[in-house]
Amino acid sequence: MILPNKIHYYTMPGLINIEQPDREAIIQFVCKEMNVRYKDALSKDRSRILVLTRNMCYAILKTYLGATVASIGRLFFRDHTTVIHGLRMHQQDLKTNDIYAEQFDEIRFLLKLNLPTKKHIKYAKSIRTMG
């Protein structure tokens, strides 16, 4: 049964990618780009670089793959509330830490996750209203 308000693979083939990317492969890729070992990213260590790497992974998995915070927590052997806190810290770091924001944009680009961010949408709206 095809719902009229939903985009379905069979009505528009090629528009939706049925295969979900491997979540662990994405985590390993982010770790490689951040120069962190995968094993260390899953550890309980709270050094700054590991926390930033984990938060970046949380955000990619939640935003671009639609993973739940509980499933992300299971991947990292953490509670869902830890993931929620990491996502909040990710948003704060994007606003305040330019280097972190550039790294995140570069990793998104390399993963081909080029969905528009709020900043891009705001910029596009401002351009449309100028003329």
CB-based contact 130:57 (threshold 8 Å): no
Amino acid found at 52? L
How many other C-beta atoms lie within 10 A of the C-beta of residue 58?
27
Q: What pLDDT shows up at residue 122?
A: 55
Is residue 39 scored above 90 in pLDDT?
yes
**Cα–Cα distance measured from residue 110 to residue 30, given in angstroms and rounded to the nearest whole number:** 10
pLDDT in tens, 102-131: 999 999 888 876 554 555 555 545 545 554
What is the torsion angle, in degrees rounded to the nearest 10, for the CA atoms of residue 100, residue 102, residue 107 and residue 113?
Answer: 120
Residue 74 CA, distance from chain mean position: 16
Q: What is the pTM of this model?
A: 0.71
